[in-house]
Amino acid sequence: MHNQEKNIRVFDYTTLMERMRRLADAYSFVTLSYIGTSILDRAIPILHFGGGNRRVLYVGAHHGMEWITSLILTQFCEELCKVINSNERIYGIYPCELLKGYTLSILPMLNPDGVEYQIHGVDKDNPLHDRLLEMNGGSSDFSAWQANARGVDLNHNYDAGFDEYKKLEREKGIQKGAPTRYSGECAESEPEVAALCNLIRFSAPWRGVMTLHTQGEEIFAPLCKEKPKSEVTARRLSELTGYRLCRAKGLAAYGGLSDWCAEKLSIPAFTMECGRGKNPLPITQISSVYSTMRASLFLFPTIL
Ligand SMILES: [Zn+2]
């Protein structure tokens, strides 16, 4: 079913939008909408499945080099559509039945501008061109870019330990926009993060959030005091993927989406570091990474 991957080397925003629209056109049970726009005015798509009041969210590509996570979630959407359409059973569940009680919301690419920089570089006509070159140490090679269009690392821009992170950031000499790790002027300063936070705040209650990153084959699950069952979910995700359960340390422990969901909103949240290798993982890894993640994606709502 994934023959179309044989002909592409990268998975950029244009390819994502084509695949999202194709699904929305082909299947009446899918709704395509947008949570907002990026700094460079790219609409950030989200697909909704089902209409139940138990809501579950999946998020990909906070980081420019991690666009393979957008492809993982796109393949998941495509497979989910087929399974629902033919009322098939998968991993012992009937998604068609499950979706009577659940809504699955899948947001494959939170940071389209960062992904575009990483894949296609920065054009001369980009209004931020000169500033970006400076942030990138004078280099026009943006292949290691993780941040958004103006050098903010989106997974440090959430309101969870933001002030503590600022101190660590200064100690590491990160003072302004950069390819990675700069958290922004204040929490939710970035439109991509603000749009996602608003979606989460105003469509509550959520049963759980899964965020996909690369790489390392690890799972980070911040403590969610009011939902002790989330520890069981984390262990189950670890069994389903073979990924190791870890606690975040140092700079990685602050300001992320999972931290904010668990600490501020008591929503069980799980960060999946998919695959193993060096970022960006080559697209040739997609079938092995997807097959490792597949059961956890389908079963996530049922183990929350
Ligand atoms: Zn990441």
The predicted pLDDT at position 250 comes to 72
State the pLDDT at residue 1.
Answer: 45
Strand-strand pairing, 30-37 and 43-49 = antiparallel
Task: Delineate the domains of the chain, giving CATH numbers in brackets.
Answer: 3-115+187-303 (3.40.630.10)
Cα-to-centroid distance, 274 and ligand 1 (Å): 10
pLDDT means per 10 residues, the chain with 304 residues, are 69 98 97 98 98 96 98 98 97 96 98 98 95 96 98 97 92 94 97 98 94 97 91 97 88 87 96 97 97 98 97
pLDDT number for residue 253: 75
Distance from the alpha carbon of residue 279 to the mean position of ligand 1, in angstroms? 9
For residue 213, report the distance from its CA to the centre of ligand 1, in Å: 4
pLDDT at 247: 81
Q: What is the pLDDT of residue 138?
A: 96
Q: Ligand 1 centroid vs 84 CA: distance in angstroms?
A: 30
pLDDT for position 252: 72
How many angstroms is it from 102 CA to the middle of ligand 1? 27
Find the 286 Cα to ligand 1 centroid distance in Å: 17
Q: What is the distance in A from the centroid of ligand 1 to the CA of 281?
A: 12
- Ligand 1 centre distance from Cα of residue 26 (Å): 31
> How confident is the model at residue 113, as a pLDDT?
98
Q: How far away, in angstroms, is 85 Cα from ligand 1 center?
A: 33
**How far is ligand 1, taken at its centre, from the CA of residue 63, in Å?**
5
